[in-house]
Structure 1
């Protein structure tokens, strides 16, 4: 895998938490985590700190591309039983209920057939094989959809300022929203080396969105994958546009 110098600055974050779960899609019914954070989960942490939007289109003006994920704590799994909801309230339903409250049909977590005329409950219990005390060092840089020197400078300065202060737009998390993540900007050369861990992970989720263009909340899923190999506790991530990343349609 050939690594090319990225445009602009590369930022390094340390992220950690009590638990993490980066679900393997082939084991979706019972949640089974990858042994390491996925690039999309790492990108989401960068997004939580700062993401610039185009004032005209109100879509992202850039994306964060992750190039390196280092494992700083041993990979340890823990089995958890979690309650998950089976459905969610739709936006059209909310608007209908606002116009006519008598049409409200609640989603009850422990509903029975006598209450709502159905045999299913609103929640289900699933086994989760999560990671315990995950701790990573992730490196990423901004990729602008239209390169602009002044805009790049604004994005990089804003991200650095917010990351130094521990500010975020929303609480970062490690795969699942209930697994909150703490973060810290690494300003100097790291002194803690990655753990000695080697593993052939196989196909790993790269991202669920089309990163070649600005996205919107209504975009359909656009799954991309890559062959992940951990060497010396480090997962090297190829650029999204490289041939190492498999995308829908073979692009």
Structure 2
């Protein structure tokens, strides 16, 4: 039996700002000049992701094959407040049993207010992208190919994307940089931008199998080059994508 040909969906995404942080410049964030495959995948995930009824894990993953840059690459310097810690689940459960044990995390506090000087945030410089706009091309890769499941995934994704529906608000790298999206055919020409990016983050998880919340990170990389506004992305299972041994 021949395998069905995956449908390629094209999304146009845009926002006011974006930051796709280079791993080597994590403290003072500096963005790649273009969206990463993992950030693009998360936008497709936000629209529709099918789960296996038995394992409760994803039945497929979205694989991005091409990104087109539709607006000039422009950087903007931002000073952002980033939290230094977050409340743990165990702490919340303890506070629910005994509200008197609540110890909030303060963004800023003085000695007079809480008895000790503390700062729950830190200011960091960010080199972000201004007014980015991309055209993303992606298709569903099933972990166990089934015609009925593929048809359900593709039909559901097309319907939801066409209606502007999503499970959570898509974002461009950082959650505060919200993204808008539209299902398109892809008519506008990309901008004339050519750049050798070098090693670029492909993803932070093992995409060869269904994932779980308890999975540890597994970083993969590939050599990226924007040619006349187009970034071609190799399949995750190809030799062009470097993975941990």
For Structure 1 versus Structure 2, the TM-score category normalised by the shorter chain is: over 0.9
Q: Are 1:209 and 2:191 counterparts?
A: no
Q: Corresponding residue for 1:3?
A: none
Rounded Cα–Cα distance in structure 2 between residues aligned with 1:119 and 1:46: 43
Q: 1:161 aligns with which of 159, 162, 179?
A: 159
- Displacement of 1:181 in angstroms is 0.6
User: CA offsets, 1:91-144, max 9 Å, x none?
Assistant: 111111111222211100003456556554100011111000000000000000
What aligned pairs does 1:181-200 form with structure 2 within 5 A after superposition?
181-186=179-184, 188=185, 190-200=186-196
Q: Corresponding residue for 1:16?
A: 14
What is the root-mean-square deviation of aligned Cα atoms in Å? Answer: 1.4
Q: Corresponding residue for 2:217?
A: 221
Rounded Cα–Cα distance in structure 1 between residues aligned with 2:115 and 2:29: 30
| TM-score where L is the length of structure 1 | 0.93
Runs of 4 or more consecutive aligned structure 1 residues displaced over 6 Å after TM superposition:
none
Q: Are 1:177 and 2:175 counterparts?
A: yes
The answer for unaligned runs of 5 or more in structure 1 is 1-5
Q: Choose 210-219 or 43-52, whichever is displaced more.
A: 210-219
Q: Residues 147 and 109 of structure 1: is their aligned pair in 2 closer, same or farther, counting only changes over 3 Å?
A: same
Q: How many residues align?
A: 242
Q: 2:59 aligns with which of 61, 64, 70?
A: 61
Q: 1:237 aligns with which of 230, 233, 240?
A: 233
| TM-score where L is the length of structure 2 | 0.95
Q: Are 1:71 and 2:69 counterparts?
A: yes
Rounded Cα–Cα distance in structure 1 between residues aligned with 2:235 and 2:115: 51
Rounded Cα–Cα distance in structure 1 between residues aligned with 2:187 and 2:101: 61
The answer for unaligned runs of 5 or more in structure 2 is none
